[in-house]
A = this chain, B = another copy of it.
Amino acid sequence: MDKQTITIYDVAREASVSMATVSRVVNGNANVKPATRKKVLDVIEKLDYRPNAVARGLASKKTTTVGVIVPDVTNMYFASLARGIDDVATMYKYNIILTNSDSNSEKEIKVLNTLLSKQVDGIVFMGNEITDKLREEFKRTKTPIVLAGSVDDEGTNPSVNIDYVAAVQEEVKNLIDRGNKRVAFVCGPLDQAINGKYRLKGYKQALKSAGIPYDDKLVFETDDTYKTGTLLQPALMAVNATAAMVTDDELAAGIMNGMSDADVAVPDKFEVITSNDTKLTEMVRPKMSSITQPLYDIGAVAMRLLTKLMNNEPVDEKNVLLPYGLMKRESTK
């Protein structure tokens, strides 16, 4: 039905050259006489020829497409990373196949395999937890995979993150220094290394340095949602917490609103500091103080790293830690 698709063969015939030559001009190969190049270009223009990327991918074994696995684009944190990824991907002429995994390990594995079957040139993976099974899958392919905003305790894959331990430690220390004896640690699932191994560690270290005993009643493991946050006020009060280090902005926004709704003034009666510095921090009142992460850059750097890997260029640093900061806003004193 669609016999009107123009192939490289058509332009070769029309320009009375070989397919090879057409291929060369299309790919900007230098070894073609200017005159013929022009001739071919003219025919291409005239016939409105568009190279078929699928055929190209088959022949060259490169698809200029990378896979991106993300828990949920609807989450600002990941959306920002994804944006950074797409921008540098575009810059390097790649496209992105974006898939939502809902942090579901089975889904992640499944989608990883469809991406590989689609012959993506590389993958950037964002996820809260790298299960052993997933790590195995990572190992059996030689398609480069980089982790963005996602930690793997085993460190088998290149990754781009911030130093979560140090960041949390620093912030909790600040909270303590300001007089908070009981600061809560409100986080997402602890079986996620980023929470259970890194942030929690920072929290504990800060306590230790301050000589405050660790009390597990002060750690609240949640599902990272706004709604859950709104419900936390009673529990937080029950343990006499006067501040909270929160690992997710929406969750933190929920907590703050829950506090306000219960007439607990933030930051006077309760300080909260969050972790992702998404634009939500500015939109909520009081504005939330936050650890700042260069979200966009984490994605961008991860993708840049991936391009190097895909080109077999040497990379100096396999596990990149980008600088973090603290943005003091209104939810802390």
Question: Please, which residues of chain B bring their CB within 8 A of the CB of A50?
Answer: 113, 116-117
Question: Please, which residues of chain B bring their CB within 8 A of the CB of A87?
Answer: 100
A96 at the interface (CB under 8 A from B): yes
Choose one: B2, B95, B99, B285; the contact of A118 (CB below 8 Å).
Answer: B95
Q: How far apart are the CA atoms of A90 and B65 in the complex, in Å?
A: 18
CB <8 Å contact, A86 and B58: no
Minimum CB–CB distance for A216 against chain B, Å: 29
| A83-B90 contact, Cβ under 8 Å, with A57-B54, A116-B50, A250-B283 | no
Q: How far apart are the CA atoms of A40 and B119 in the complex, in Å?
A: 23
Minimum CB–CB distance for A124 against chain B, Å: 13
Q: How large is the interface on A (under 10, 10 to 19, 20 to 34, 35 or more residues)?
A: 35 or more
Other A-B pairs beyond A95-B97, A95-B115, 17, CB < 8 Å? A50-B113, A53-B114, A53-B119, A54-B118, A55-B58, A58-B58, A65-B118, A73-B83, A74-B76, A83-B100, A86-B99, A86-B100, A96-B97, A226-B282, A250-B283, A260-B285, A284-B285
Chain B: CB-nearest residue to A143: B2
Q: How far apart are the CA atoms of A174 and B164 in the complex, in Å?
A: 49
Mark each residue of chain A from 17 to 54: 1 if its CB lies under 8 Å from any CB of chain B, else 0: 00000000000000000000000000000000011111
A residues in contact (CB < 8 Å) with B? 2, 50-55, 57-58, 63, 65, 68, 72-74, 76, 79-80, 82-83, 86-87, 90, 95-100, 113-119, 142, 226, 250, 253-254, 257, 260, 279-280, 282-285
CB <8 Å contact, A284 and B282: no
Q: How far apart are the CA atoms of A73 and B80 in the complex, in Å?
A: 8
Question: Please, which residues of chain B bring their CB within 8 A of the CB of A282?
Answer: 226
Chain B: CB-nearest residue to A250: B283
Q: How far apart are the CA atoms of A249 and B116 in the complex, in Å?
A: 38
Minimum CB–CB distance for A135 against chain B, Å: 17
CB <8 Å contact, A279 and B79: no
What are 7 residue pairs bridging A and B, where the CB atoms are less than 8 Å apart in the complex? A52-B58, A53-B119, A98-B98, A253-B283, A283-B283, A284-B285, A285-B285
Minimum CB–CB distance for A99 against chain B, Å: 7
